[in-house]
């Protein structure tokens, strides 16, 4: 999803009462002797290390908060009520509770004056009722023949949206370095976390999410304005292929039919195991140290406790 101005100020390190280290060092260079500059640089680097260590030491689990903002548009009242009664944000809170974060992260659903979007900004993930209404509107009337229910085509993209934005939050709050496009990294973060659910649930959520993306590619030939290629996000079709490829790469047996049915072209499928391994390596090296492993083992249990009720509610339009 799109995000507004994405505050990366923390990436330059907040050193408490100290002035901006980058600005200070830029100012110092032309006027100071080299030895002094080296000393100053060493002090500033030490401050950066201290700040990072300090932030890490303050990280803890159960940092997720949530808010059901009252809808601005009366048409969204039913979505608000259904989510609140179904304790949807409470479930997401529990799912994300293993994240060790230095300060709280809020999950919020809110009216966005007609904007169908979601974003992360200032430690708050906002998902618009307008976007949720769109997922409902786009869901098929019947279950799909590939073993995906109508409810999965709603639950999948909702979960993916929150996890994608959580990816941005994690990169920001934990100062995780990102190579390549952050939007693609957030999509991959979401797919990787989704694949930690049980096999059946992971398959349902991945394919449900891909379903909503594939609505934007109604046939084998697609015409888009040239500006679409300048977007910071990959195109919807590419985003669908990214998550299908990660899923297939993680378990070729579980997702074998997506290649057999040509949802994922064979040419791309050949590289998916390697793409998944690259992602798993990055997640293990960079994200895993910030996960409470004891709480993480309960994630699937949390999901299963509530998903069947939610699936029943969304079974029919
Ligand atoms: Zn994004």
Separation of 243 CA from ligand 1 center, angstroms? 14
pLDDT above 80 for 153: yes
Q: Which residue's structure tokens are 């923390």?
A: 10
Separation of 288 CA from ligand 1 center, angstroms? 21
Q: Which residues contact 85 (CB under 8 A, 6 or more apart)?
A: none
Neighbours of ion ligand 1 (CB under 5 A): 1, 3, 183, 186
Q: Which residues contact 185 (CB under 8 A, 6 or more apart)?
A: 167, 171, 178, 179
Separation of 131 CA from ligand 1 center, angstroms? 14
pTM: 0.83
Q: What is the mean pLDDT of the chain?
A: 85
Confidence of residue 95 (pLDDT cuts 50, 70, 90): very high
* pLDDT tens, residue by residue, 35-79: 554 555 555 444 444 444 555 568 999 999 999 999 999 999 999
Separation of 294 CA from ligand 1 center, angstroms? 29
| The pairing of beta strand 105-110 with beta strand 118-121 | unpaired
Please tell me the predicted confidence (pLDDT) of residue 29. 31
| The pairing of beta strand 105-110 with beta strand 124-128 | parallel
Please tell me the predicted confidence (pLDDT) of residue 129. 98
Please tell me the predicted confidence (pLDDT) of residue 54. 54
* pLDDT tens, residue by residue, 188-243: 999 999 999 999 999 999 999 999 988 877 678 888 889 999 999 999 999 999 99
With a pLDDT cut of 70, the percent of the chain lying above it is 82
pLDDT above 60 for 174: yes
Domain ranges of the chain: 59-217+226-307
Question: What angle (nearest 5°) sits at the alpha carbon of residue 153, between those of residues 149 and 158?
Answer: 135
Please tell me the predicted confidence (pLDDT) of residue 146. 85
Please tell me the predicted confidence (pLDDT) of residue 35. 54
Give the 3-state secondary structure of residue 135: helix
pLDDT above 90 for 117: yes
pLDDT above 50 for 299: yes
């Amino acid at each position: 999803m799109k995000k507004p101005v994405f505050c990366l100020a923390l990436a330059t390190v907040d050193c408490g009462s100290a002035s901006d280290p980058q600005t200070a060092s830029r100012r110092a260079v032309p006027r100071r002797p080299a030895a002094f500059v080296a000393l100053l640089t060493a002090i500033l680097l030490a401050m950066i290390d201290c700040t990072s260590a300090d932030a890490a030491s303050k990280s803890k689990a159960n940092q997720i908060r949530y808010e059901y903002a009252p809808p601005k548009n009366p048409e969204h009242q039913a979505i608000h009520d259904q989510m609140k009664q179904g304790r949807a944000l409470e479930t997401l809170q529990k799912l994300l509770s293993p994240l060790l974060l230095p300060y709280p992260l809020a999950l919020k659903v809110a009216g966005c004056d007609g904007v169908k979007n979601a974003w992360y900004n200032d430690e708050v993930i906002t998902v618009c009722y307008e976007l949720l209404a769109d997922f409902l509107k786009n869901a098929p009337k019947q279950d799909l023949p590939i073993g995906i229910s109508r409810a999965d085509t709603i639950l999948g993209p909702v979960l993916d949206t929150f996890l994608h934005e959580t990816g941005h939050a994690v990169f920001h709050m934990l100062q995780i370095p990102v190579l390549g496009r952050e939007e693609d990294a957030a999509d991959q973060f979401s797919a990787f976390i989704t694949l930690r659910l049980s096999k059946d649930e992971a398959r349902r959520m991945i394919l449900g999410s891909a379903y909503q993306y594939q609505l934007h590619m109604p046939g084998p030939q697609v015409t888009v304005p040239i500006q679409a290629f300048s977007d910071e996000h990959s195109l919807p079709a590419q985003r669908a292929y990214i998550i299908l490829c990660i899923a297939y790469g993680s378990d070729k047996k579980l997702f074998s039919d997506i290649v057999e049915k040509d949802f994922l072209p064979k040419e791309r499928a050949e590289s998916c195991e390697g793409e998944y391994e690259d992602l798993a390596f990055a997640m293990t090296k960079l994200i895993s140290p910030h996960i409470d492993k004891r709480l993480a083992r309960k994630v699937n249990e949390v999901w299963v406790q509530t998903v069947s009720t939610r699936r029943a509610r969304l079974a029919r339009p």
